[in-house]
A and B are shown apart, each in its own frame.
Chain A
Amino acid sequence: MSKYTEDDLREELKTKEYEYGFYTDIDSDTFPVGLDESIVRAISKKKNEPEWMTEWRLDAYRIWQKMEEPDWANVNYEKPDFQAISYYSAPSGKPKYDSLDEVDPELLATFKKLGISIGEQKKLSGVAMDVVVDSVSVATTFKKTLSEKGIIFMSISEAIKTHPELVKKYMGTVVPKTDNYYAALNSAVFSDGSFCYIPKGVHCPMELSTYFRINQAGTGQFERTLVIAEAGSYVSYLEGCTAPSRDENQLHAAVVELIAMDDSEIKYSTVQNWYPGNSEGKGGVYNFVTKRGLCEKNAKISWTQVETGSAVTWKYPSCILKGDNSVGEFYSIAVTNNYQQADTGTKMIHLGKNTRSTIISKGISAGKSQNSYRGLVQVSSRADNARNFSQCDSLLMGNKCGAHTFPYIEVKNKTAQIEHEATTSKIGEDQIFYCNQRGIDTEKAIALIVNGFSKDVLNKLPMEFAVEAQKLLEISLEGSVG
């Protein structure tokens, strides 16, 4: 066999397509394209929302109208036409397939590699569900456990109706409607999302959302998530899915708000694998997300993300460390290939005393992609003894891609201790050689090295996800990173 070189890999990566394509639309309840006040009202009405919610949305819409689309990020894309988008599309109840046999076998193979259960596979690929599926019964059992503990976990539309007092009190407090262009747009037209409330002192016994992934599907392109952890509680929340997602929507503008009360802890993990466009850079999802968490006294918020999909990513999960002794963490892996562009990072706003934050960001760029880390560490004058450690490492594959770091550090307190370091490198020839010597072929060797490079972050993922994410990285490496 001839030697498999990095060039071969690069060639392969150039030609390798996102095998799973898009599904054609099925008949669904879709609004006409365009956006004006009547559409906002109609969305609200459709969801049977109370009057205050409709007003809230309209207010956001008016704010959005006055704002301009930001262009400071290090990404180039054709700006979406906001009047050419349909802002409401409810999935109709009709399944796409009658049995798993009709589903693309490649996709099923991926599912299998990722270790996704049959029940979930069916749901993810749009197969009609049997009445008795393992996961569903598991889900029901867990739902019971949750409600016994007083944990509220439901869709945000449902929460608006059943727990208006909580939604009213917290929604928009961390990410105000006026925050940015996409947050304002989301506030006006959000389709659905999750709501999670952990009562005082409750330690949520399971990773939320993994088991419910199948029940929470189809939340649409303007997702809104609100997680509230009362004093002394703990929750680990998982979002997204390692399975390749077949979203028809070009533009995604989600908002996630986390509120961690005194002594509580929220762990929020994301795996994003949306359609990145083909090898010429055509198509693909624009992912413009606003994620932010607020920490009260002694609280801790930890963001972990694995970003492998989307044509354009624009995402900065942030922590406002308001309470004394609060802790913020950010662990991220961003992989870009072909013409993908990612501008991602975090903001750590130190307001309270003795606040600590850690940032570990790993960027891997291949093909003709651009991968940027953009972060802000801000220490206010009253935040005594604030501590930050940031590390941003980039791995470049080929000289057609780019890796960039834009760290902003603003300190107004003399007791602050801030460290930031960034490195950029490529996979060493000697590393590959060593592996080859030991009988590991080049592709496997690269997978191995990339896995090692990302380990710091992968280790932070909850067990359920970590295994899948590791496999996902490996699958992406089969020709997609080389």
Chain B
Amino acid sequence: MELKEKLLSSYIAFENQNSVVNSFVNELRGEAIKNFEATGFPSKKNENWKYTSLKKVLNEDFSLFPESEHTIEYRDVQPYFIHDIDTYKIVFIDGKYASHLSQTTHEGIDVCLMSSALTQTKYRAVIENYFSKIAPKDNLAALNTAFCNEGAYIHIKKNKVSKRPIQIIHFSTAKESALLLQPRNLIVVDENAHVQVIERHQSLTENPTLTNSVTEIFANKRANIDYYKIQNDKSGASLIDNTFIDQQQESNVAVHTFSFGGKLTRNNLNFHQNGERVESILKGVSIIGQKQHIDHNTLVHHIAPNCESHQDYKGIFSDSAVGVFNGKVVVEKEAQKTNAFQANNNLLVNDKATINTKPQLEIFADDVKCSHGCTIGQLDENAMFYLQTRGIPQKEAKALLMYAFANNVLESVKIPQLKKRINKIIAEKLGVNIGFDL
């Protein structure tokens, strides 16, 4: 049975099991499943999916609701945490909340679970105000909405600053068979509030998993959000990450995406600038090899005047890896004095590797400064030679240059411990034993 049919037929069972008090959410789900039935999974005919086919990924016989619960001990998964700083943690195992690994709070800020937000009445106002407001109503987002019942719920109230970063970690065990996970996160940051979030998806076995994650982020007036995504999964894991961000005036949102692992990774990152003097930052580093596939699909929608957006994506591709970058900047005619910049730089290390890039500008306002640049090339031979004359072996020299290439993105990571961790992953990925922290 095809996955789509399987999902549709299992919806009723899901609905009976997971009906919530909130009729608003029930209605949304019902509508979403209908929309998914009509639109289905995106195919390569869809311009946004021109270079990424989901066919192979969807072919697995996924179990939709893992039956038995698998417990994991903290010591087994400790390396996946950023453990050297104090953080709030929201941890899920196979889509179910793992309280023994987590640390939530309600002190001035709400760092808790989507399942409680969807069911408890005290969250009702927030849910009705924000839930599913910016996620689109078709394809994968609809599928996620239809089956949503768990994920992270973060609400930072007015003038509050979350002193500790928040880690959201999804583990999948997929012990019996292939597993489909659909986490749903909602992050609301009120006026003048600050938060830092680190998100990670990690499978613990080589069995295939597919994660179709939807995150909605609302940055109200002068809110400040710093979001990091670490994607360094096992080779059987595929991830479709859909993140939608609504920004009100003078807010500042930065999203960093670090993609090193997984079989197929697709990042749909959408910014909607609904207020004046907003700043959006989108940065990413992808280092992949073998038969990995990474696709960054970004949209920055400039709706209000006097806003800025800054995009910087670096890619290093070896073996038969495929890298895709599809960045779109839309400037509406009201959005005068927009300053939008987009850069996509790529290194191809191997002849079998492929890079497809499509930086798009759609501009309807005349008083704007918009530019994009895109390069594809290889390491500078002179630089390589120089390093080697200084006694640095070829492999290490290469790694150093690649690190330097990605450094633009890395240097804007604001959590030092996180940066250290990413440096370590990069060293592992490049097969060298250098601590890049200088």
Instruction: Report which A residues bind B (CB closer than 8 A).
Output: 72, 381, 394, 396-426
Contact = CB atoms under 8 A, between A and B. Distances in A.
B370 interface: yes
Given A402-B363, A416-B348, 8 more contacts: A399-B333, A399-B365, A407-B359, A409-B356, A411-B376, A420-B374, A420-B375, A424-B368
22 contacts: A381-B352, A398-B366, A399-B336, A401-B364, A402-B362, A402-B364, A404-B362, A407-B374, A409-B358, A410-B357, A412-B353, A413-B348, A414-B350, A414-B351, A416-B348, A417-B377, A418-B377, A420-B359, A422-B372, A424-B369, A424-B370, A426-B367
B361 interface: yes
Nearest to A404: B362
A406 to B, nearest CB: 5
A407 B350 contact: no
A414 B349 contact: yes
A72 B371 CA distance: 24
Contacts of B362: 402, 404
A398 B348 CA distance: 41
Nearest to B338: A424
B354 A412 contact: yes
Q: Which 9 A-B pairs have the closest CB atoms?
A: A414-B348, A418-B376, A396-B366, A420-B374, A424-B370, A426-B366, A423-B371, A421-B373, A399-B333
B365 A406 contact: no
Contacts of B352: 381, 412
Given A400-B333, A408-B358, A420-B359, A414 B369 contact: no
B241 to A, nearest CB: 23
B363 A396 contact: yes
B355 A409 contact: yes
A417 B377 CA distance: 5
A422 B349 contact: no
Interface in B319-367: 333, 336, 346, 348-367
Nearest to B353: A414
A406 B360 CA distance: 5
A386 to B, nearest CB: 10
A153 to B, nearest CB: 40
Contact of B374 (A406, A416, A421, A426): A421
A72 B360 CA distance: 15
Contacts of B358: 406-409
Interface string B99-119: 000000000000000000000
B378 interface: yes
Nearest to B349: A414
B390 to A, nearest CB: 25
A227 to B, nearest CB: 31
Contacts of A411: 346, 348, 354-356, 376
Nearest to A426: B366
A407 B342 CA distance: 13
B356 A394 contact: no
B47 interface: yes
Interface in B134-174: none
Contact of B363 (A394, A412, A421): A394
A424 B374 CA distance: 15
A443 B286 CA distance: 49
Contacts of B378: 414-415, 417
Nearest to A396: B366
B359 A418 contact: no
Given A410-B354, A414-B348, A414-B378, A403 B372 contact: no
Nearest to A405: B361
Contact of A404 (B51, B356, B361): B361
A423 B371 CA distance: 4
Contacts of B370: 423-425
Contacts of A426: 366-368
A404 B375 CA distance: 19
Contact of B375 (A406, A418, A422): A418
B234 to A, nearest CB: 27
A409 B50 CA distance: 12
A382 to B, nearest CB: 9
Contacts of B359: 405, 407, 420, 422
A24 to B, nearest CB: 39
A402 B366 CA distance: 8
